[in-house]
Amino acid sequence: MKGFIISLSLSLILLSGCWSGRELADILIGVALGIDLVDDQYQVTLQVLDPAEVAANEGTSTRSTITNYTVTADTLFEAIRQLTVTTPRKVFLSHLRLLVYGEELAREGIGDTLDFLLRDHEIRSDFVITVAKGLSAKDVLGIMSPLEKTLAEKVYTSIESSERNWASTQRVELDELMDSILSNGKEAVLTGVSVRGDIEKGKEQSSVERTSPLALVYVDSLGVLKHDQLIGWLTREESQGLNFVVDNVQNTVEHIDWPEGGTITLELIRNQTKMDVSAKDDQVKVKLSVSTIANIGDVAANVSIRDLETLSEIEKHLGDKLKDLMQSTIDVAQKEQIDIFGFGDQLRRQDPKAWTALEKNWPEAFANAEISYDMLIEIRQSGMVTDPFDREFQKKLDEKKN
């Protein structure tokens, strides 16, 4: 966070000589924007960072470096302009990091808000877009963050980290969202943001002065959009399955149930999914070729991993687990006739003529698509210990007792 603030300050200093430059003391930096629907109006919450207060906090100041301002208006543009009534200085939006939609608004449709975000010359398109899961955007932005100075930075880095190391979220920016909404061959998904704990107490500074904050913000699943409307949520496992299908897994952890009892946990250190989509006589066929390299991270089963046949069996079980994970997500999407994988876009690239014939009825064609898999799993490392530690531990303990 400190590095982010320094970079902001440097960029603003460099702007001081431009025709549109502003003095650092004359602006507030908008870092997060929340949009809710309240009585058929837009309720906009803007989280701002005060650069002057950031500098003061390096010394002895105890004032917060961030402030939330909330206004309500008939249009998003009016609401943003209306913020000037409550904010003491001009708000600078070019460093926006996070946009949060309240779930109620997301279910009604977010299309009208996107027009303003695309047109405003100050707003860049590289902020992360999310949906507040089961609550308002205003409530989400009100939660104090125990480690980061702004909730915007906390959510931004959490999505990046979980996408990179857990594969249950996606970092979706404005351009990508617009492409998915406008495409006939792919629907959009957005990461869900939820709060666990006491929301009202989580807004107090005292919450983060405890070893266990009274409320925490989580990013843990994906919301599915049809056109520009949220229609439901994937589970964590289904969100991971989606990321495997669309080749968006960098690193994650999966466990398998061993047939003789116990579990084996593996770290997937590399994954690549290639998608092949074809159509003949209106029948769509999708082939997913998945190549995964994994390390054994934990063995809680009575099995020795010195044996090559055992390693081959572990690879087979992991391949089956990943295939089931992907297929369960595809089953959910096909039931709702919503192509969140981009099978339609891939067919358009591979066979434009077939796509043209199926485009108007793509939801039905997608729902009836045949899915096949080609799984290639390789266990690269099994660790320094080749036998389960608990078995060795129990053996040593029995010998000591006797």
Q: Is 357 a residue whose pLDDT tops 80?
A: yes
Taking each helix axis from N to C end, the angle separating 236-245 and 308-336, rounded to the nearest 10 degrees, works out to 100
Looking at residue 147, its pLDDT comes to 85
Bridge partners for 381 per DSSP:
295
User: What secondary structure letter does DSSP report for 15?
Assistant: G
Average pLDDT for residues 171-179, to the nearest whole number? 96
Looking at residue 385, its pLDDT comes to 55
Nearest to 54 by CA among 96, 2, 95, 98: 2
Nearest to 98 by CA among 174, 207, 195: 174
User: In this predicted model, what pLDDT tens digit does every residue of 196-243 receive, in sequence order?
Assistant: 999 999 999 888 888 999 999 999 899 999 999 999 999 999 999 999
Looking at residue 398, its pLDDT comes to 63
Average pLDDT for residues 11-18, to the nearest whole number? 45
Tell me the C-alpha distance between 236 and 213, whole Å: 24
Report yes or no: 256 and 136 within 8 Å, Cβ to Cβ: no
Q: Is 19 a residue whose pLDDT tops 50?
A: no
User: In this predicted model, what pLDDT tens digit does every residue of 177-203 receive, in sequence order?
Assistant: 999 999 999 999 999 999 999 999 999
Tell me the C-alpha distance between 120 and 90, whole Å: 15
C-alpha atoms less than 13 angstroms from C-alpha of 152 in its C-beta half-sphere: 27
Instruction: Return mean pLDDT, the chain.
Output: 89
Nearest to 3 by CA among 172, 149, 218: 149
Looking at residue 15, its pLDDT comes to 44
Tell me the C-alpha distance between 238 and 127, whole Å: 25
Report yes or no: 244 and 272 within 8 Å, Cβ to Cβ: no
Helix residue ranges per DSSP H, 268-342: 308-336
Looking at residue 7, its pLDDT comes to 54
Average pLDDT for residues 130-154, to the nearest whole number? 93
pLDDT category at 58 given cuts 50, 70, 90 is low
Tell me the C-alpha distance between 361 and 340, whole Å: 16
Tell me the C-alpha distance between 178 and 336, whole Å: 21
Tell me the C-alpha distance between 9 and 317, whole Å: 52
Taking each helix axis from N to C end, the angle separating 111-119 and 174-182, rounded to the nearest 10 degrees, works out to 130
Tell me the C-alpha distance between 378 and 255, whole Å: 15
Q: Is 371 a residue whose pLDDT tops 70?
A: yes
Q: Distance between the two ends of the chain, CA-based, in angstroms?
A: 57
Average pLDDT for residues 66-90, to the nearest whole number? 89
Tell me the C-alpha distance between 402 and 396, whole Å: 10
User: In this predicted model, what pLDDT tens digit does every residue of 295-341 receive, in sequence order?
Assistant: 999 999 988 888 889 999 999 999 999 999 999 999 999 999 999 99
pLDDT category at 400 given cuts 50, 70, 90 is confident
Looking at residue 142, its pLDDT comes to 96
More confident residue, 122 or 127: 127
Report yes or no: 173 and 127 within 8 Å, Cβ to Cβ: yes
Report yes or no: 88 and 24 within 8 Å, Cβ to Cβ: no
Burial of 148 (0-12, 13-18, 19+ CB in 10 A): middle
User: In this predicted model, what pLDDT tens digit does every residue of 232-282 receive, in sequence order?
Assistant: 999 999 999 999 999 999 999 999 999 999 999 999 999 999 999 999 999
Report yes or no: 98 and 127 within 8 Å, Cβ to Cβ: yes
